[in-house]
Amino acid sequence: MARRIVLALALIAGAWLVVGGSSTVDAQPAPATATQIKLYMPWEPSFTPKLRPTISVRGETTFEGNPMASSASCQSGAITTQRPDAWRCVTADPCFAPSVNGGSQVACASNPWSNEVQILNLTRPITRETSQCFSAAGGCTDGRVKMDFTTAPWALELTNGIRCVKATGTLSGFADITFLWYCQMADGQNAGSAGSFPGADANLDRSAPLWTVFYVGETSYVVEEVGVLVAWY
């Protein structure tokens, strides 16, 4: 009888370890079920321009911009993200003004997951009269574009751990897929491209809560559909 009791207690203890899993089995994170939208915000929301405490300045320079342009040093709205505070300053894109009204400084970032920015001190500041728009089309009102989450995001974080940033130059394509984003691994190594078919919703499949995009690795010959964990604007 004593032997049966000991055996029963051992089975109960083993079952507790397997079912409870508290001390010997690490809980696995649940897979993502929906894409999360995030906004990059380098400036404090204040009347005096001030960077947020976690932002690091990797460099600061006086910036004239295109001397042939009659407007501010930054000639238009950013092409990487559609925001009323994001600008294209010659080729630097996106560069964020302290407010939608503009300012004499912009903070330019190469990607949203780094806390480093390049500060441009504008010789011709952005004012409320400076227009982001080439025309009245594209949701542009009173010289500013509207924040629009239906446009292609600035950057993507994929379910396979790859990070991608929207291209500003020549785009590549394959089998009618336009690769709109260039991708890297977390350590900065090149990791291929991401994109979708021309008919897709801003180069993403948004038909499910977890958006997807087509991705091809740097040396891979396989294009695969991958989930989008985070869409940055």
**Which domain-ending residue is among 116, 145, 174?**
145
Q: List C-alpha distances in Å: 88 to 2, 51, 153.
A: 80, 19, 16
* Beta bridge pairs of residue 226: 213
Look at residue 73 and tell me if it is in a domain. yes
- Give the predicted TM-score (pTM) of the model: 0.81
Please determine, for residue 83, whether its predicted confidence score (pLDDT) is greater than 70. yes
pLDDT value of position 22: 41
Kindly state the tokens that stand for 15. 């079952």
Indicate whether 159 and 137 sit together in one domain: no
Indicate whether 46 and 139 sit together in one domain: yes
Indicate whether 139 and 49 sit together in one domain: yes
Render pLDDT for 108-137 as a digit per residue (tens, 0 to 9): 999 999 899 999 999 999 998 888 886 545
Segment 87-110 mean pLDDT: 94
Look at residue 122 and tell me if it is in a domain. yes
Kindly state the tokens that stand for 121. 């001190």
- Supply the mean pLDDT for the chain: 83
Look at residue 198 and tell me if it is in a domain. yes
> 199 is in which domain, residue-wise?
155-232
**Which domain-ending residue is among 145, 177, 199?**
145
Indicate whether 76 and 94 sit together in one domain: yes
Cα(194)–Cα(204) distance, rounded to whole angstroms? 9
pLDDT value of position 214: 94
pLDDT value of position 4: 41
Look at residue 108 and tell me if it is in a domain. yes
Binned at pLDDT 50, 70 and 90, residue 54 comes out as very high
Render pLDDT for 3-36 as a digit per residue (tens, 0 to 9): 443 333 333 333 333 334 444 445 555 677 899 9
Higher pLDDT, 40 or 144: 40
Look at residue 219 and tell me if it is in a domain. yes
Which residue type is seen at 159?
T
Please determine, for residue 210, whether its predicted confidence score (pLDDT) is greater than 90. yes
Q: What angle do CA 62, 181, 155 make, to 5 degrees?
A: 65
Among 10-19, 32-41, 75-84, 161-170, the minimum mean pLDDT is found in: 10-19
Indicate whether 181 and 112 sit together in one domain: no
Look at residue 29 and tell me if it is in a domain. no
Look at residue 5 and tell me if it is in a domain. no
